[in-house]
Amino acid sequence: MSFLLYFINNVLSQPMIIIGLVVILGMALMRQPVSKILPSTIKAVIGFTMINVGGQTLGTALMPLTGLISHIFGMKAPENTSNIGAVQGQSLAAIGTEMALIFALGFVVNLLMARFTPLKYVHLSPHVSFFFAGLIASLLKYNTSLSMAAQVGVGAIILGLYMTITCWYVAICIKPVRGAKGFTLAHSSSSGDLIASIEGELFGNKSKSIEDLKIPAKYGFLREMTIALTLVMTLLFFFLGLFAGPTWTMTHVAGGKDIVLYAITQGVQFGMWITIIITGVRMMLSELIPAFHGIAKKLIPNATPGLDVPLLFPQYPMAVIVGFLCSLASGLIGMVLLAAFHFPTVVFPALIPTFFTGAATAIFGDAHGGRRGAIIGSLTNGFLLIFGQAFLLGMVGTYAPIMRILSETDYCVYGPALGFLLHLFH
Helices and strands, number each (H, E), in the chain: 16, 3
**Residue 367 lies in domain:** 2-425
**What pLDDT score does 323 carry?**
95
Task: Name which of 101, 136, 52, 135 is nearest 307 in CA terms.
Answer: 52
**What pLDDT score does 57 carry?**
82
Task: Name which of 388, 402, 396 is nearest 81 in CA terms.
Answer: 402
pLDDT single digits (tens) 181-207: 889 999 999 999 999 999 999 998 988
**What pLDDT score does 51 carry?**
81
**What pLDDT score does 337 carry?**
94
Rounded CA gap, 159 and 111, in Å?
A: 12
**What pLDDT score does 85 carry?**
64
> How distant, in Å, are the alpha carbons of 233, 292, 297, 298, 392 from that of 29?
45, 10, 9, 7, 44
Residues paired with 123 in a beta bridge: 306
**What pLDDT score does 174 carry?**
96
Q: Are 62 and 81 in contact (CB under 8 A)?
A: no
Rounded CA gap, 205 and 367, in Å?
A: 9
**What pLDDT score does 94 carry?**
80
Q: How many structural domains comprise the chain? A: 1
**What pLDDT score does 73 carry?**
85
**What pLDDT score does 304 carry?**
93
DSSP for 213-270, written as a single string: ----GGGGGGGSHHHHHHHHHHHHHHHHHHHH-HHHHHHHTSTT--HHHHHHHHHHHH
Q: Is 315 strand, coil or helix?
A: helix
**What pLDDT score does 81 carry?**
57
Rounded CA gap, 169 and 184, in Å?
A: 9
Regions of the chain short of the pLDDT cut 70: 1-13, 77-86, 88-89, 219, 221, 426
**What pLDDT score does 192 carry?**
97
For 269-302, b/e burial (b = at least 16 CB within 10 A) is bbbbbbbbbbbbbebbbebbbbbbbbbbeeebee
Residue 130 CA to its chain's centroid (Å): 12
Q: Is 213 left (phi over 0), alpha (psi -120 to 50) or beta?
A: beta
**What pLDDT score does 181 carry?**
87
Rounded CA gap, 126 and 16, in Å?
A: 9
**What pLDDT score does 173 carry?**
97
Rounded CA gap, 51 and 383, in Å?
A: 27
